[in-house]
Amino acid sequence: MTILQLFIDSTFSDSESGNTRDIEYPADSTIHLTAAEASSADAERAIAAARREFDSGQWRHTTVAHRGDILRKVARRLLKDKETIARLETFDTGKTYAECEMDVDDVASVFSYYADQATASNGRVVDPSVPGISSKIVTEPVGVCVLITPWNYPLLQASWKVAPALLAGNSIILKPSELTPSTTHYLVKVLIEEGVEPAAVQLLLGAGADIGPTLTESPDVDMVSFTGGLETGRTIMKSAAGTVKRVALELGGKNPNVIFADADLPAAIDNALTAVFLDSGQVCSAGARLVVEESIHDKVVDELVRRAREIRVGDPFDSATETGSLISSEHRQKVHTYVERAREQGATLLCGGEIPEGDLAKGYFYPPTILDRCDQSMDCVHDESFGPVLTVETFSGDSDEEREKNAIAIANDTIYGLAGAVWTADASRAERVARQLRHGTIWINDYHPYVPHAEWGGMKQSGNGRELGPTGLAEYLEIKHIWHNTQPAVAGWFANSEDASATAGEANSGDN
């Protein structure tokens, strides 16, 4: 079996220790791949190589137009290799092949979008209105950027970081999840083959807990961009504090999907299913909290349960399958424990909630699960279970105004603030509610779509900074003010300045 290798100092190689890790296909728990397992020594080598490259300026001193052209080639190549990449992603994640194909389209759009940004204006002139002064704001790459990504959308999450970081001229060190290395490894090969300076890209595979501190504490790393869970985000923020490096965090979410009684119910119900059960709920923006007006609760929930029971869970490569497996046995157990605890805490299980037997027992499948009559006292409502589990809360009130206020209060009652949705036929209410929800993305009468042009990111403990859009590029740029005095003169602040001026004058005339 071939071993996926690290990429350090322009060379694919095994880890220094020779250690490897077997990668499972979560849909049947067989080993489908072996990957090199990096240690701290490999991380040190990667940091040193990235630092050397950035300081030598090979990649950053190419023109931004050149870097944009390369990103465009990368986009084309990814589309050309879509089938191969989607297969790799399916084997690593257990997601349906159809979904992985769509992910590759999204990844290519991200590279194309940032290729287009190469022509956007870089820097600006400011006019301080001082004679002889030219003053300008310029942008520069941040430096050595460590890019750490999770297992749920391995290539997509990498693209949100890699494309802007490389366009800006940074030197990058990529660290995908230990569970899903394949497509990031493939991306590195594509980057190099399509013309990115090899020395500007390092790839480390292996356990974040082992090599993470080396990367995040190093004084030679200028930035860490991380997507993953809240606890890991907190750890990274603390370990980066010692060197005050730039930290961008895209963390979890506990996202409310609010349905008012006047909503288009067939659309709201259908989208409520996609909101939470897409990719078996392993989506940071999953609409895992249904917040529904009490008067339509039964109608909505009965239909959701009927439809959820019909969702076809199974073989990710079967085109009839609608959702695949969870990522690992450990993760499925975590999800199941949330469901069991919710029942102990008073929630009513309406469907799902059992680990499947029979054909599905080989993999880490979990059925679409709905828990009714939930509230904030339950762990499954305030924690991110990150599985196919929908919790149902209701709101009511004596007036429209009161119902609206109560819905907003419930939807905002979370430490997270990543995404949410509101369903109503009343456009002005929709706008009012959208403005008051403390989440980074709000959908009105929709759920899940995103475009690379629009910023993505969280409020509160869902993170800081933004990916995508122009802000997603700005994250990887330093801003510098250059003040150029074309008529230098003595400042005249200190007492001897006139003497200094005279001395300088004499010296100058002597020279002449």
Q: Any contact of residue 236 with ligand NDP (CB under 6 A)?
A: yes
Q: Any contact of residue 149 with ligand NDP (CB under 6 A)?
A: yes
Annotated active-site residue in 24, 37, 53, 250: 250
* Structure-token pair, residue 113: 């979008």
CB 263 within 8 Å of CB 425? yes
CB 347 within 8 Å of CB 390? no
Q: Any contact of residue 15 with ligand NDP (CB under 6 A)?
A: no
Whose CA is closest to 168, among 79, 71, 253?
A: 71
Nearby residues of 479 by Cβ (< 8 Å), 6 or more positions away: 137, 138, 139
393-432: which residues touch ligand NDP (CB under 6 A)? 418
Q: Considering the complex, what minimum distance in angstroms separates the CB of residue 23 from ligand NDP?
A: 11
Helices 182-193 and 154-168: crossing angle in degrees, nearest 10, is 30
Region of 91-99, 173-181, 311-319, 404-412 interacting with ligand NDP (CB under 6 A): 173-181
Residue in 117, 157, 171, 321 binding ligand NDP, rule: CB under 6 A: 157
334: part of which helix (H) or strand (E)? helix 329-344
Q: Considering the complex, what minimum distance in angstroms separates the CB of residue 289 from ligand NDP?
A: 14
- Over the window 265 to 304, marking each residue x when it contacts ligand NDP by CB under 6 A and - when it does not, the resulting string is -------------------x--------------------
* Structure-token pair, residue 257: 């999907």
Helix (H/G/I), strand (E/B), else coil: 137: strand
Residue in 148, 221, 339, 351 binding ligand NDP, rule: CB under 6 A: 148
Q: Any contact of residue 152 with ligand NDP (CB under 6 A)?
A: yes
Alpha-carbon Rg for the chain in angstroms: 26
The residue among 153 and 277 lying less far from ligand NDP, judged by its C-beta, is 153
Q: Considering the complex, what minimum distance in angstroms separates the CB of residue 249 from ligand NDP?
A: 8
Residue in 7, 25, 59, 151 binding ligand NDP, rule: CB under 6 A: 151
Residue in 227, 321, 394, 441 binding ligand NDP, rule: CB under 6 A: 227
Region of 27-35, 94-102, 209-217, 270-278 interacting with ligand NDP (CB under 6 A): 209-217
Q: Any contact of residue 26 with ligand NDP (CB under 6 A)?
A: no
* Structure-token pair, residue 198: 């090899």
One-letter amino acid for residue 386 of the chain: F
- Rounded CA gap, 269 and 392, in Å? 13
The residue with tokens 């020594």 is 41
Whose CA is closest to 223, among 480, 475, 479, 481?
A: 475
Q: Any contact of residue 251 with ligand NDP (CB under 6 A)?
A: yes
Region of 15-23, 172-180, 302-310, 365-373 interacting with ligand NDP (CB under 6 A): 172-180
Helix (H/G/I), strand (E/B), else coil: 354: coil
Burial label, 449 (beta-carbon count in 10 A; 0-12, 13-18, 19+):
exposed
Does residue 250 have an active-site annotation?
Answer: yes
Annotated active-site residue in 24, 99, 178, 284: 284
Q: Which chain residues interact with ligand NDP by CB under 6 A? A: 148-153, 157, 175-179, 207-209, 212, 216, 227-229, 232, 235-236, 250-253, 284, 384, 386, 418, 458, 463
